[in-house]
A and B are shown apart, each in its own frame.
Chain A
Amino acid sequence: MTATKRHEATEQPLRLHFQDARKVLVEGDQEDRFVTTVREAVRACRLAEDGAAKAEQFQAEFKEFLGHVNAWCIRHADKIIRAYVAPGMHGMEVFVVTNGDAFMFDFEAQVTALDLELVDAFPNWPAHVMQLPGEPDESLESFFTPRRALQVYGQRAGASPQG
C-alpha cells in the first residue's frame, strides 16, 4: 500500500518534518516517480505555495492596472473612443485610440502622465502608453491586433451605438 492510499484509509495528515533525515517517494500526475529527501519535499511545498501566492498577486495587480487605465479613459472620454492593452515585446502596450485622424499633440502631456503613473504604481507590469488616431480604423493593425488585445474602454470597433 502506498503512502497516499494509507493516508486515504486513515484520513490522517501525512507529517513531513524539515529535520527528518528519511527519504520520501513522490508520485507525479503523469505516473513519474522520484525519491527525494523530506527536507527537499518540504522546500518544494513552500515554493509551490509561494508561487501560487505570487501568481495571485500578479493577477490582482493586473486587474488593478486595467482598472486604472479604464478610469483614466473615462476621465478623458471627450478625446478617447477606445483603449486596448496588448502584450508587447518587453511588457504591456496600452493603446489609447483618439478621435479623428491626427496625433493630438495637445493631449500628449496627459498621455505621458498616465505612462509615468503606471511605471510608479505597477512596477511588476512594465507598460508603454501610446495614443493612436482612430481613423482610419484599419491603421490600428499596424501597431497591434485589436481582436487579440484586451479592450479596456469604449465600444467594440464596428458596433452600433445601441450595442
Chain B
Amino acid sequence: MANEQAHRLKADQNRDFLRTIGDGYADWLAVVAFYRAVHLVEAVFARDSIHSTDHNGRNNLLKRSYKPLWAEFKPLFDSSRLARYSEKCISSREARENLLGKHLPALEAHVEALLAAPTKPKPVTHPSHKKHR
C-alpha cells in the first residue's frame, strides 16, 4: 500500500510525462491526465488513512466524502475511459483546454489545500480511557 509521498511522486512523474505527449495522441493526454488525477486523490486518501482497492471503490469514496474532488475527477475518469474505448471523440485541443487546462489544475488545487491542512488527530487508546467496571 503506497503512502502519500509515493502517490505524490507518481503524480509528479505523470505530470512530467504529460509534457512530452504530442498533439497526435489526444487519447494518451486524457489517459495520463487521469493517471495523475488517480495518484493525487490517492495521496489524499493515504493522508486520511483510507485505501481504495479499485476504480469503483475510489469513485464511491470521492462521491460520498470528497465531492469537490469528484466534480473535477469525474470528467478526467470518463474522458479517459472514452479515449480508451472509442475513436476520435476527444481532440488534442479539447484535452489540453478542458482536461489539462481546467479539471486537472482545479483538482490539483483542491488536493494541495487538503494536504496542506493539518491532519485530524487519530483517536488514542490509553489505559486510563478503559472503562472501569
**Given A133-B86, A133-B89, A102:B94 Cβ within 8 A:** yes
Contact across chains for A139 and B86 when beta carbons are under 8 A apart: yes
Q: Is B129 an interface residue (CB 8 A)?
A: no
**Given A89-B56, A102-B89, A143-B85, A130:B78 Cβ within 8 A:** yes
Query: Which of chain B's residues has its CB closest to A105's CB?
Result: B98
Contact across chains for A105 and B94 when beta carbons are under 8 A apart: yes
B90 / chain A contacts, CB cutoff of 8 Å: 102-103
Contact across chains for A126 and B60 when beta carbons are under 8 A apart: yes
Contact across chains for B74 and A101 when beta carbons are under 8 A apart: no
In the complex, the 3 A-B pairs of residues with the closest C-beta atoms, listed nearest first: A142-B85, A90-B56, A105-B98
Contact across chains for A112 and B94 when beta carbons are under 8 A apart: no
Binds A, one of B7-15, B17-25, B39-47, B62-70: B62-70
Q: Is A37 an interface residue (CB 8 A)?
A: no
Count of chain B residues with Cβ under 8 Å from any Cβ of A? Answer: 25
A residues whose Cβ falls under 8 Å from a Cβ of B? 89-91, 101-103, 105, 108-109, 111-112, 115-116, 119, 126, 128, 130-133, 139, 142-143
Contact across chains for A112 and B81 when beta carbons are under 8 A apart: no
- Tell me the B65-121 residues at the A interface (CB within 8 Å): 67, 70-71, 74-75, 78-79, 81-82, 85-91, 94, 97-98, 102
A133 / chain B contacts, CB cutoff of 8 Å: 82, 86, 89
Please name 5 pairs of A and B residues whose Cβ atoms are closer than 8 Å in the assembled complex, sorted by A. A105-B98, A108-B74, A112-B74, A130-B78, A143-B85
**Given A102-B90, A131-B78, A115:B63 Cβ within 8 A:** yes
**Nearest Cβ on chain B to A109's Cβ, whole angstroms:** 8
Contact across chains for A103 and B71 when beta carbons are under 8 A apart: no
**Nearest Cβ on chain A to B98's Cβ, whole angstroms:** 4
B98 / chain A contacts, CB cutoff of 8 Å: 105
A143 / chain B contacts, CB cutoff of 8 Å: 81, 85
Contact across chains for A112 and B75 when beta carbons are under 8 A apart: yes
**Nearest Cβ on chain B to A21's Cβ, whole angstroms:** 35
B59 / chain A contacts, CB cutoff of 8 Å: 128
A142 / chain B contacts, CB cutoff of 8 Å: 85-86
In Å, the complex CA distance between A111 and B70 comes to 12
In Å, the complex CA distance between A11 and B79 comes to 66
A112 / chain B contacts, CB cutoff of 8 Å: 70-71, 74-75
In Å, the complex CA distance between A101 and B70 comes to 25
Contact of B81 among A116, A119, A130 (CB under 8 A): A130
In Å, the complex CA distance between A126 and B63 comes to 10
